Amino acid sequence: MPDASRSPPPMSDVTLPMIGRPPRPEPEPTAALTLSPAGSGWTLAGASAIGGSHRREGKLREDAFRCEHDHGWSVIAVADGAGSRRLSRFGARVATDYAVPALVRGLAGVSLAGPADEASINADLMHALEGAFLAARAAVEDAAKQDREPLCDYGCTLVLLAHHASEAGDTIVAAQIGDGAVVAVTAGTSSDAKITLVVSPDSGKYGSETYFLTGEDALERAMQSRTIKRWAAGEIHALLAMTDGVLDCVYPPLPTLEQAARTWVEVARGPRQQPGSNLADDLVAWLAHWEVPGNEDDRTLVILLRERSHPGRSEEA
């Protein structure tokens, strides 16, 4: 349950110009972004592509993502707009556009190397995650009010991930509401690297059900999913955040997801497909043309990839 004694960040601290009066700009069929902060030792690449059924039916992409690198933290959000909800594409974009800046702000005040004990640090990290989900939910509610539309029509899932690397080790915080997943790829070669499911799908009683940020119990479910994990310096090779359009192609079973994650990291480290292209360009081209029988959902995948020449260092605040 959220801790009522600790207030979330005020909305004025996370307001973005994107939330304004309708009509809102419609999403493009694809989106791609690559960030390689100087000296960080990491590359952050995100890609989103409209699903085959949406493309054929003339519908719009309902997935969204946002990622930033600040104060030594890489912060990622991915969201999947509910296909049954008329304005879910806006819910997904609003949620990711507000959750990431809120989490960046929350984490900026957390010292991982200070005198505080681990329990106090964990409490601060959990509070930062809580504030990000609260900001995302409040922003979606505000969008619905401005549009004079029912909140339920903006239903979307939301996966949040933040990672910090230093010579002392790697710290990961993550949480989610609904389906999608976060996967860590750790020590080993590309063929035997260990795969850890950091957060797994929060599905309903039936296979096709899930939970949304607009639900009455959304914040409670998100808080129940919060996790903090730590690894030795240099042990994490990559982190993957994905919507169910990617996850459902390879999971379950777990071995299929493990093999897919190893393959994605190997391809990400390989040569680019076209002269002048970057990792996100290649990801979005692959997502758009990846054919899996029975799966034509929108697909979003964000990869945080450690550079080989930087075994354990990251940009410090």
Q: Which alpha helices (DSSP H) does 148-236 contain, by range? A: 218-225
**Domain spans of the chain?**
27-306
Three-class SS of residue 27? Answer: coil
Residue 190 CB burial class (10 angstroms; 0-12, 13-18, ≥19): middle
Beta-carbon contacts of 245 under 8 Å, excluding residues fewer than 6 positions away, are: 51, 63, 80, 295, 297, 298, 299, 300
Here the tokens at position 262 are: 């190893």
Per-residue pLDDT band at 312 (split at 50, 70, 90):
very low
Per-residue pLDDT band at 17 (split at 50, 70, 90):
very low
Residue 29 pLDDT greater than 60, yes or no: yes
| pTM, rounded to two decimals | 0.90
Distance from C-alpha of 288 to C-alpha of 19, rounded to nearest angstrom: 28
Distance from C-alpha of 241 to C-alpha of 199, rounded to nearest angstrom: 9
Strands (E), the chain: 30-35, 42-49, 63-70, 73-80, 158-166, 169-177, 181-186, 194-199, 227-231, 236-242, 299-306
The residue with tokens 């680019």 is 272
**For 251, left (φ over 0), alpha (ψ -120 to 50), or beta?**
beta
What's at 214, amino acid-wise? T
**Angle subtended at Cα 38 by Cα 34 and Cα 40, rounded to the nearest 5 degrees:** 90
DSSP state letter for 109: T
Q: What's phi and psi for 312, nearest 5 deg?
A: -155, 10
Three-class SS of residue 203? Answer: strand
Per-residue pLDDT band at 67 (split at 50, 70, 90):
very high
Alpha-carbon dihedral 99, 46, 247, 171, rounded to 10 degrees: -60
Here the tokens at position 288 are: 């758009």
Distance from C-alpha of 133 to C-alpha of 129, rounded to nearest angstrom: 6
Beta-carbon contacts of 192 under 8 Å, excluding residues fewer than 6 positions away, are: none
**Average model confidence (pLDDT) for the chain?**
87
Per-residue pLDDT band at 7 (split at 50, 70, 90):
very low
Here the tokens at position 95 are: 């949620």
Tell me what the mean pLDDT of segment 255-272 comes to: 91
Three-class SS of residue 169? Answer: strand
Each residue's pLDDT tens digit, 111-126: 998 778 999 999 999 9
Each residue's pLDDT tens digit, 219-254: 999 999 999 999 999 899 999 999 999 999 999 999
Distance from C-alpha of 42 to C-alpha of 264, rounded to nearest angstrom: 16
Per-residue pLDDT band at 308 (split at 50, 70, 90):
confident
Three-class SS of residue 18? Answer: coil
Task: Give me the architecture of the 27-306 domain, per CATH.
Answer: 4-Layer Sandwich (3.60)
Three-class SS of residue 45? Answer: strand
**Cβ count within 10 A of residue 253:** 8
**Which of 102, 146, 143 minimizes the C-alpha distance to 7?**
102
CA 266 → CA 18, 192, 237, distances in Å? 36, 11, 10
Each residue's pLDDT tens digit, 154-212: 999 999 999 999 998 999 999 999 999 999 999 766 667 899 999 988 876 655 679 99
2-6, 181-185, 272-276, 291-295: segment of lowest average pLDDT: 2-6
Predicted local distance difference test score (pLDDT) of residue 311:
46
Distance from C-alpha of 15 to C-alpha of 139, rounded to nearest angstrom: 8
Paired with 173 in beta bridges are 162, 228
Predicted local distance difference test score (pLDDT) of residue 267:
87
What size, in residues, is the chain?
Answer: 317
